[in-house]
Structure 1
């Protein structure tokens, strides 16, 4: 496993037509490459307002597009297709844990593909597990 500091996290809901993202106000965060099947774990400590947004995005286990920057804000962003696994209230702030896959597609192409797969009747877990075959 490889662990990196999370420098930026922007979440894009995939259950609506717009592609507007919400930048999360990170207190701290990690991103872990599990080095198996392209699986990554994103853990972030957020303020209460952003924690509420993540809770809403995670409702019904919807897949979310996460744009992250690793180590420092100047680094190029990477896109991940993630599903929220846990949201924890920690008094002054909160913690969120997401699991997903690194994606190579453009954000708009990725959103269109997810919407197409939903129309085909795919479940959220199936969409997340489509892995590198998602763009096919």
Structure 2
């Protein structure tokens, strides 16, 4: 198992282009790659009491939600997870929420989509390579 510090946590809700991102202020948090056959991750978020009811409602409905998490450093790219809330505990005046789920790998899809769009625009050979590099640099500068 590998353990990382959870730096930032967002909940993504909605469908298609109508996605709402809610930032959950963290007091502290950990994220653990369990390195098991199912490739599951455990996320532990220590949060203010006011958010506990929101997550307990999701847990009671056994809903899956999408979390966006920054790990280790605030400058790292966020990782996306499809998770279920598996437990909540009171710790003093605050709450500890446990999530279990899988990391979502969008990078491969993004690369394929970018290449497909550039090919459809007529790029090929060295032009395709240069246009792809430009798009990657542009995308990195906006995140």
TM-score w.r.t. the length of structure 1 is 0.70
Q: Report the structure number with the largest CA radius of gyration.
A: 2
Pairs within 5 Å for 1:39-118: 39-105=40-106
1:3-60 per-position Cα deviation (integer Å, ceiling 9, x unaligned): 00000111124xx544212111101000000111211000010001122222233331
CA contact (8 A) 1:68 1:78 kept: yes
Number of residues of Structure 1 aligned to a counterpart in Structure 2 = 104
Q: Which has the higher contact order (CA 8 A, sep 6+)?
A: 1
Distance in 1 (CA, whole Å) between partners of 2:89 and 2:12 is: 20
Q: Structure 1: which 5+ residue stretches go unaligned?
A: 107-136
Please report the RMSD computed on the Cα atoms of aligned residues, expressed in angstroms.
1.6
Gaps of 5+ in 2: 108-143
